[in-house]
Structure 1
Amino acid sequence: MKVKMKGYWLIALMLLSISQFSDAATPEQEINHLIDFVAKSDAVFIRNGTEHSSQDAAEHLAMKYRKATRYAKTAEKFIENLASKSSWSGKPYKVRLSNGSLLNAKDWLSNELKEYRRNQHIHN
């Protein structure tokens, strides 16, 4: 009887572990969240010395993602390879927040990804 109970507990723990993994956001969901985050921000994006609205920046990132998905297998790779610098000039993208702070897009997006994952973990 003890062997059967241990078996049931083991199965229950395995199912719980599997359900935890299935609730995690996929890389595509995380990347789409980041693009949506950019679109809804009130930030000015500076790309190759030119300022762009948050909506224009989000459209640009979405276009880069569609054309170069192979370089963005994870949200981190999306940030590193597509969303943080110009593929044309290599210059880092900058973000000017509504409070006037100027940040590297890489840092800003990486922080948002951490926050998104933390919130996903809390809600799951």
Structure 2
Amino acid sequence: MSFKVFAVAFAALATQAQAATKGEIDHLLNYVKTTECRYERNGTMHNGAEAVQHISKKYRYYKDDIESAEDFIKYSATKSKMSGKYYKVHCRDQAPVKSRDWLFAELAQYRASQK
């Protein structure tokens, strides 16, 4: 295989991977935005739309460091950089969970549905 063919094939695969990552992140943002659960950040409760505003702001800030949906969760939706407190999600009739665990579970379900 010539270098040109290899380079084109590699670029195509990289583009596909970027599109898949963007799709996963977009799905997670929509999941947060449309949830009926409450998002706790530094002791204050937020609805999904409010939570996604904050997460989106952090996503834009860390965008250059984010190469995967896992990175997105780690940098944008796990904990406060100022207080160090983990974000929590409170869903009706369930114990509160760390937002990262809630989002990783949804990411796994989303990936399984895409197969």
1:11-22 pair list within 5 angstroms: 22=16
Structure 2 segments unaligned to the other structure (5+ residues)? 1-11
Post-superposition Cα deviations, 1:88-118, rounded to whole Å, max 9, x if no partner, equal 2111000000224211101000000000000
2:33 is the counterpart of 1:42:
no
- The corresponding residue for 1:54 is 48
1:74 equivalenced with 2:71 (yes/no)? no
Q: How does 1:1-124 map to 2 (within 5 A)?
A: 22=16, 26-121=20-115
Q: CA RMSD in A?
A: 2.2
Would you say the 8 A contact 2:32–2:52 is kept in 1? yes
Shift of 1:68: 1.6
**Structure-2 change in CA distance of 1:100 and 1:26 (3 Å):** same
Which secondary structure does the structure 2 equivalent of 1:46 belong to? strand
Deviating 4+ runs (over 3 angstroms): 22-25
Higher radius of gyration, 1 or 2: 1
Q: Which runs of 5+ in 1 are unaligned?
A: 1-17
- State the shift of 1:37 in Å: 0.2
Change (3 A) 1:24 1:65: closer
Structure 1 distance, partners of 2:83, 2:17, is 38
